[in-house]
Amino acid sequence: MTATPNTGCAGEKNMLDGKRLVLVSNREPYVRKQGPDKGHFERTTGGLVTALDPVMRRCGGVWLAWDPGGDPALPHRFEVPESGPTFTLRQVPLSRGEVRRYYYGFANRALWPLCHYFIDRCHFDDEQWNDYVAVNRRFADATAQEAAREDLIWVHDYHFCLLPRMLRERRPRGTIAYFLHIPFPAEEVFKILPWRREILEGILGADLVGVHVPSYVTDFLGCCERLLGAKVDHGAKVVHWDGRQVAVQAFPIGIEVEEIEGIASAPETASRARRIRKNLKESKVVLGVDRLDYSKGIPERLLAVERLLEEAPELRGGLTFVQVAVPSRTRVQEYRHLKRVIDELVGRINGRFGDSSWQPIRYLYRSLGRQDLIAHYLAADVAMITPLRDGMNLVAKEYCAARVDEDGALLLSEFTGAAEGLASGAMLVNPFSVEGTANKLREALELSPNERSSRMKLMRAHVRDTHINVWLQDILLAASKIPGADCIG
């Protein structure tokens, strides 16, 4: 059953029935500013925070997150956001060594590449695993301190696969939900992980396991059945484990559509979009926006743009590819290497085709302000969102929400969760094929205004139907139906 979009706070609060939401994620929603303004908080960037901050602002409760390099002697509970506090941020201090081994190590050099099918990038290291266990345990203790018996505990993402089980040991009758923001891979890939059993058992401490799309549900159930020997009801999508029933469901995450539409409709955003186009000499604009991550397929995308410029010389001088790459995980070797690869490719392509008045690639290695980002969405003729693998991809949805003018084409990788819902309007591509992507890009650039508009209308309708409120309410509804739930409903 799907909730009605935009019922907002009232619907969610009813489902929580006065109980609190205790949310756990690695990334903090607000971070203390550096420099003279130190002591104040600003919101962080990234898919998870973009999705969950509005939820917590509406529902209230406690959000536990890491404090990397944090001093355990300093205060770790704050009311946020500063402009009008609605929830508590509880920071869990981690030492630099723990951050190195748990976060940059096991989470981002074992689980992240594994779940995104980059087997050759996986590093399995016992020390990193040990710190992953220790940090999950620290969070289990902190969460148990914060959560009353009847609260709904909601654990997020691959950093905390062990946490549901650890919390179950501390709260045998508590209600625990878990949501994985990245893909759950096929069994043949997942079984490579030396700690596959511990990870599955950890997640199965939850009552409700949420993933983005049905294929991840199928893969997770298959792993529980064949790698753990658990009894699985594939029809009901339930794992029988440890005397409990664990429901596994797809909840495709969405965005706060009105926030984006509001910014996109503001006259200043439209005039910023016009300035962007003017600065690009009114050429056709193709846009990529990603964290700088190998899963996002940025080099492959650059190669496709290069191929198109080779094959369609008439586009030279009249097409600009703008790539916004937000710095990410810069302490991980693979990410530093990727940055060098991209720098070199951009240089090579600009050197090869550019001249004193035109550069085919504009590469912005930084995070843009929210309004500037949305102005870029509005300025683009084509958004080129071609990850090699992506759990969902919120940028694709934000691009459609921003197109209040119902214009703009979307070139979307078939290996994103977003492709399942946006397929009717997007042009789907296999990003591993340079030639195929170049051809599709050309087709996208040549779509008639009518075709662009009818495709965009379909995609905007889907984005509205899968609003972040729908995601939240569907999860709360599913949590309220957990047999024997002490909380909600």
Point out the residues that are catalytic.
Answer: 181, 390
Question: Which span (122-130, 230-238, 272-280, 390-398) binds ligand GDG, by CB under 6 A?
Answer: 390-398
Of 291, 455, 462, 467, the residue at the interface with ligand GDG (CB under 6 A) is: 291
Name residues contacting ligand GDG, limited to 308-337 (CB under 6 A). 324, 326
**Which parts of 150-189 interact with ligand GDG (CB under 6 A)?**
181-182
What's the rounded Cα separation, in Å, for the pair 285 and 80?
38
What's the closest the beta carbon of residue 385 comes to ligand GDG, in angstroms? 8
- Select from 135, 285, 338, 395 the one that contacts ligand GDG (CB under 6 A): 395
Of positions 14, 215, 283, 367, contacts ligand GDG by CB under 6 A: 367
Nearer to ligand GDG (CB atom), residue 106 or residue 294: 294
- To ligand GDG, the closest distance from the beta carbon of 261 in angstroms equals 14
Residue 410 near ligand GDG by CB under 6 A:
no
- The set of residues, in sequence order, having a beta carbon less than 8 Å from that of 153 and lying 6+ positions away, is 22, 24, 143, 147, 167, 171, 174, 175, 176, 177
Nearer Cβ to ligand GDG (121/197): 121
Q: Are 433 and 388 in contact (CB under 8 A)?
A: no
CB 177, CB 210: distance < 8 Å: yes
Residue 253 contacts ligand GDG per CB under 6 A:
yes
Binding mask 52-81 for ligand GDG (x = CB under 6 A): ------------------------------
- Quick one: which of 298, 465, 463 has its CA closest to 390? 298
Figure out which of the listed residues 21, 22, 48, 342 binds ligand GDG, where binding follows CB under 6 A. Answer: 48
Asked if residue 392 binds ligand GDG (CB under 6 A), the reply is yes
Residue 346 CB partners (closer than 8 Å, separation 6+): 302, 323, 361, 363
Sheet holding 284-291, edge to edge: 361-364, 319-326, 284-291, 382-385, 409-413, 427-429
Residue with tokens 């096929």: 186
| Closer by beta carbon to ligand GDG, 133 or else 368 | 368
Residues 6+ apart with CB under 8 A from 200: 223, 224, 227, 228
Question: What is the bridge-based pairing of β-strands 238-241 and 231-233?
Answer: antiparallel
Q: Does 398 bind ligand GDG (CB under 6 A)?
A: yes
Kindly indicate which of the ranges 163-171, 234-242, 347-355, 392-400 contains the residues binding ligand GDG, using the contact rule CB under 6 A. Answer: 392-400
Q: Is the torsion defined by CA of 350, 352, 353, 357 positive or negative? A: positive
- Residues 250, 266, 368, 423: which binds ligand GDG (CB under 6 A)? 368
Give the shortest CB-416-to-ligand GDG separation in angstroms: 7
Residue closer to ligand GDG by CB (options 5, 354) is 5
> In this structure, are residues 375 and 276 in contact, taking their beta carbons and an 8 Å threshold?
yes
Indicate the SS3 state at residue 476.
Answer: helix
- Residue 370 found at the interface with ligand GDG (CB under 6 A): yes
> DSSP alpha helices (H): ranges in 27-152?
47-59, 96-98, 112-115, 126-146
51 scored as a contact of ligand GDG (CB under 6 A): yes
Among 5-13, 40-48, 126-134, 312-320, the segment contacting ligand GDG (CB under 6 A): 40-48
Residue 212: closest CA among 388, 420, 460: 420
Place of tokens 């995070």: 367
Concatenating the DSSP letter of every residue in 296-334 gives: G-HHHHHHHHHHHHHH-GGGTTSEEEEEEEE---TTSHH
45 lines the binding site for ligand GDG (CB under 6 A): yes
Q: Tell me: does residue 391 bind ligand GDG (CB under 6 A).
A: yes
Of residues 181 and 272, the one with the C-beta less far from ligand GDG: 181
Site for ligand GDG in 100-129 (CB under 6 A): none
The one among 92, 361, 373, 475 contacting ligand GDG by CB under 6 A: 373
- Quick one: which segment of 47-55, 165-173, 305-313, 422-430 binds ligand GDG (CB under 6 A)? 47-55
Closest CA to 487 of 159, 151, 132, 37: 151
Q: How far is the CB of 115 from ligand GDG (least distance, A)?
A: 9
- CA distances from residue 223 to 202, 216, 232, 239 in whole angstroms, order as listed: 13, 11, 10, 11
What count of Cα atoms within 13 Å lies in the side-chain half-sphere of residue 334? Answer: 15
* Interacting span for ligand GDG (CB under 6 A) from 81-89, 305-313, 393-401, 435-443: 393-401
Q: Which residue is nearest to ligand GDG (CB)?
A: 47
Dihedral, CA atoms, 426, 427, 428, 430, nearest 10 degrees? -150
Is the CA virtual torsion 63, 49, 471, 165 positive or negative? negative
Q: Which stretch binds ligand GDG (CB under 6 A): 12-20, 386-394, 428-436, 467-475?
A: 386-394
Stretch that binds ligand GDG, among 99-107, 186-194, 330-338, 365-373 (CB under 6 A): 365-373
Q: Which is nearer to ligand GDG, 381 or 390 (CB)?
A: 390
- Binding site residues, ligand GDG, CB under 6 A: 45-48, 50-51, 181-182, 253, 289, 291, 324, 326, 367-368, 370, 373, 390-395, 398
